[in-house]
Amino acid sequence: LAAREALAEAGLKFRDVDGLFTNYMGEEGSVQLGEYLGIQPRYAESSDMGGASFEFFVHHAIAAIATGRCDVALIGYASRQRTRRNRKRAAAALDGSLAAQFETPYGIHFPIGHYALSAARYMHQYGARPEHLAEIACAARQWAALNPKAFVRDPLTIDDVMASPLLCDPLRKLDCCLVTDGGGAIVIARADRASDAAKKPVRILGAGESHVQWHVAQCPDLTVTPGVASGRAAFGMAGVTPQDVDVFEPYDNFTHAVLLYLEDLGFCGKGEAPDFIAGGRLLPGGGLPSMTSGGGLSYCHPGALGILLLIEAVRQLRGEAGTRQVPEASIAVAHGTGGLAFSTASTVVLARD
């Protein structure tokens, strides 16, 4: 359904698709997806970069289109992890790897334990407090209240976040993303194909990607993500700066992660994010509207959030976001991350055409 709707918006049919991208976090790869949709692509990819896979796919799709490997790329994903109750557990995810030597013996839980280590280090090193993390959760919830499709829309206060159960110090229940079903699809095409779109197309100005390590024991710095490299590449290709961005869609799997992304992408300096978000900067009407769908914290997190970040960015640039619409939004950034303790990152800069 999502693929059919995305192609209809683009004024295209399944027979027009010759590039196909998905990842196995949705339990199917490009071969299975192509079989299901009746697509035999000239170019396909099922690389698993975690939740950031879809921003990676945008980068790879524009390269494939630019070199003539495909003309119309369909990027899709769907997951029923909440219905099936099949979210991977620690032992299943980590057995047979380096973690068996350096992580599993200490009982670290996948993935919250890895991110909790990052949060604890960031708070120790830069003086961030639990209240700063709670501000991120509250910002996401304020946006979710404006989104009729958000999984949770009830009012949320900093006190509510602070009173939620401590799951893995310093992360509380409301510092953590949802576990939901969900999915989506996007279409990327050559400019001449986009001219016939049923809805106004959005231009990809820039994209960048990077990865550093898989295991948290190999992480060189728990307070720095590969977003430093992916953001630099994406903004450099786009020819814009973070100060030009009207809408920011970060991968908010955990509250402290958003603080790191703001710093690593250059919206503020290292250690400055807690002060940067003060005064409602990320909220509706703020200087940098972020998580405008409600994000993974309050809208939807179907195992891999990256495709939903791109979809929300497009809706904002088209002016289709309803009551949560950011006025005069012309440049948006979708920033995906994945893996254990920020293993992968990819950044996409989009513009109203």
For 188-226, b/e burial (b = at least 16 CB within 10 A) is bbeeebbeebeeebbebbbbbbbbbbbbbbebeebbbbb
| Residues taking part in catalysis | 251, 299
pLDDT digits (tens, 9 = 90+) for 314-344: 999 999 999 999 999 999 999 999 987 899 9
Q: Is residue 93 within 8 Å of 110, Cβ to Cβ?
A: yes
Q: So what's the pLDDT on residue 98?
A: 60
What's the mean pLDDT in 193-213?
Answer: 93
* Long-range CB contacts for residues 38-43, cutoff 8 Å, separation at least 24: 38/14, 39/14, 39/74, 41/17, 41/70, 42/18, 42/69, 42/70, 43/18, 43/19, 43/69, 43/70, 43/73
pTM reported for the whole predicted model = 0.95
pLDDT at residue 299 greater than cutoff 50:
yes
pLDDT at residue 91 greater than cutoff 50:
no
DSSP letter assigned to residue 276 = H
Cα first-last separation, the chain: 26
What's the mean pLDDT in 6-21?
Answer: 96
What's the mean pLDDT in 216-227?
Answer: 93
Strand stretches in the chain, DSSP E: 19-21, 43-45, 72-79, 166-168, 171-172, 182-189, 202-211, 247-250, 331-338, 344-352
In whole numbers, what is the pLDDT of the chain averaged over residues? 93
